[in-house]
């Protein structure tokens, strides 16, 4: 008998029919003898709907009240799913985050889980019940309701699995696993059977939207075997995310990630003197804008430098305004802004032991006449920023040349 934590995302519980189908699956699992803890998201679209409702009253409602509002989405689905299970004669009980003491810090809207008290859950499991826990929510020391950030139900599931030392944490979604590339862009995308935490972390932070990044961090830290699989097909296998070296595929490149949310800003012809990076980036970080890639290069004119960086497209306007002001203050020549760029990344732990992958990547892009605007590398990834109109061409060519469609 194994203890398994399962998480069903918004699309899997999007309607009463789907909730009933999920209940059938859970019941079938339960009948194999496993103990089950199930965490669910709100019905798809609900969190957005409630956010929009709040904004009809206030542009920026208080984060505390937003958490009180948004957590109701998950409270609806835990109750409905539990009813659907009971209707099938499968004994079950629902709990909100606070009820099973998912304790977080007090950062409303992006709280971090600090501890989970597994007492109640274990007690209900011992009574033979399926335990259904609301995802995405917790409570701080003073009893205030908190949420874990968009997509946070993934993190709830992983944290439950860690706290309960579960055999596996299964994340059910609308795709059957993690692919070498987004299958909507490249039909030859191949599903990976196994991938390491490290690679998954890179893929997620580089734009793969399968999992919330914190859930992968959590899984890696507490060594929770994590499986991503489809709730819409029968007998899904999915992708296992683990550290077991002997079973992780030993390919040089595992996958290609892309991120369409990038925007690039450059300050041209800034005086090249100590402190310039600080003077440019500190007003940007003061308004909480995260900077991704940074490039400082020598300008054609002596004593001047060009400074470029990327931000999320949502922050583009604010960042542009700040740069316009800095351009004057620092006596720079011009600001160049471009929100029509994308980031394309190759990811693979095998890169560590293979030189020349970057050169090979650049050659592929050169052969397609795609101009590289920025480059950044780490031990296990190479990212480039290119014009968004070449996104498909770039990722497909890379996928083909690195033969990612082959096992
Ligand atoms: N309902 C929340 C959201 O839409 C949490 C989740 O789905 O994981 O972000
Ligand atoms: Mg999700």
Q: pTM for this structure?
A: 0.88
Which domains are assigned to the chain? 3-174 (3.40.1160.10), 256-401 (3.30.2130.10)
Q: What is the pLDDT of residue 249?
A: 56
The β-bridge relationship of strands 113-116 and 102-104 is antiparallel
Of 166, 53, 71, 165, whose CA–CA distance to 111 is shortest? 71
- 10 alpha carbon – ligand 2 mean position (Å): 6
Binning pLDDT at 50, 70 and 90, where does residue 43 land? very high
Average pLDDT, the chain: 94
Task: Give 95-108 pLDDT, tens digit per residue.
Answer: 999 999 999 999 99
- 399 alpha carbon – ligand 2 mean position (Å): 26
Q: What is the pLDDT of residue 246?
A: 59
**Each residue of 342-381: b (16+ CB within 10 Å) or e?**
bbbbbbbbbbeeeeebeebbeebbeeeebeebbebeeebb
Q: Which of 237-241, 249-253, 347-351, 396-400 has the least mean pLDDT?
A: 249-253
Question: How confident is the model over 336-347, as a mean pLDDT?
Answer: 95
Beta carbon of 348 within 6 Å of any ligand 1 atom: no
How is residue 194 written in tokens? 């196994």
**Rounded distance between C-alpha atoms, residue 70 and residue 292, angstroms:** 29
CB 386 within 8 A of CB 344: yes
Indicate whether 112 pLDDT > 80: yes
Q: What is the pLDDT of residue 208?
A: 83
Beta carbon of 136 within 6 Å of any ligand 1 atom: yes
Beta carbon of 135 within 6 Å of any ligand 1 atom: yes
Question: How confident is the model over 142-165, as a mean pLDDT?
Answer: 97
Task: Give 272-330 pLDDT, tens digit per residue.
Answer: 989 999 999 999 999 989 999 999 988 777 889 999 999 999 999 999 999 999 999 99
CB 39 within 8 A of CB 74: no
């Amino acid at each position: 008998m194994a203890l398994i934590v399962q998480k069903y995302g918004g699309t899997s519980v999007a309607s009463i029919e789907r909730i009933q189908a999920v209940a059938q699956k859970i019941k079938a699992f339960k009948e194999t003898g496993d103990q089950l803890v199930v965490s669910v998201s709100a019905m798809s679209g609900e969190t957005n709907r409630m956010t929009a409702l709040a904004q009809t009253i206030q542009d920026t409602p208080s984060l505390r009240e937003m958490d009180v509002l948004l957590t109701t989405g998950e409270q609806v689905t835990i109750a409905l799913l539990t009813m659907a299970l009971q209707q099938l004669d499968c004994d079950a009980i629902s709990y909100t985050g606070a009820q099973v003491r998912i304790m977080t810090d007090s950062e409303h809207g992006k709280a971090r889980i600090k501890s989970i008290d597994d007492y109640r859950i274990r007690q209900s499991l011992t009574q033979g019940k399926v335990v259904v826990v609301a995802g995405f929510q917790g409570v701080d020391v003073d009893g205030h309701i908190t949420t874990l950030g968009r997509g946070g139900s993934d993190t709830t599931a992983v944290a439950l699995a860690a706290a309960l030392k579960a055999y596996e944490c299964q994340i059910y979604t609308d795709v059957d696993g993690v692919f070498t590339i987004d299958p909507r862009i490249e039909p030859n995308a191949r599903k990976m059977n196994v991938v390491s935490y490290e690679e998954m972390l890179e893929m997620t932070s580089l734009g793969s939207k399968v999992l919330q990044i914190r859930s992968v961090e959590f899984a890696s830290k507490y060594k929770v075997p994590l499986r991503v699989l489809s709730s819409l097909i029968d007998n899904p296998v999915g992708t296992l995310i683990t550290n077991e070296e002997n079973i992780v595929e030993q390919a040089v490149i595992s996958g290609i990630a892309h991120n369409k949310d990038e925007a690039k800003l450059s300050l041209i012809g800034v005086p090249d003197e100590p402190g310039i990076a600080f003077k440019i980036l500190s007003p940007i970080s003061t308004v909480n804008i995260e900077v991704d890639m940074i490039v400082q290069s020598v300008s054609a004119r002596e004593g001047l430098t060009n400074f470029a960086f990327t931000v999320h497209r949502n922050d583009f306007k604010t960042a542009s305004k700040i740069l316009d002001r800095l351009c004057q203050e620092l006596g720079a020549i011009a600001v160049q802004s471009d929100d029509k760029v994308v980031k394309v990344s190759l990811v693979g732990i095998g890169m560590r032991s293979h030189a020349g992958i970057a050169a090979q990547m650049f050659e592929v892009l050169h052969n397609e006449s795609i101009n590289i605007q920025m480059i950044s590398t780490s031990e296990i990834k190479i990212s480039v920023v290119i014009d968004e109109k070449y996104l498909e061409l770039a990722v497909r060519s890379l996928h083909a040349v690195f033969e990612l469609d082959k096992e």
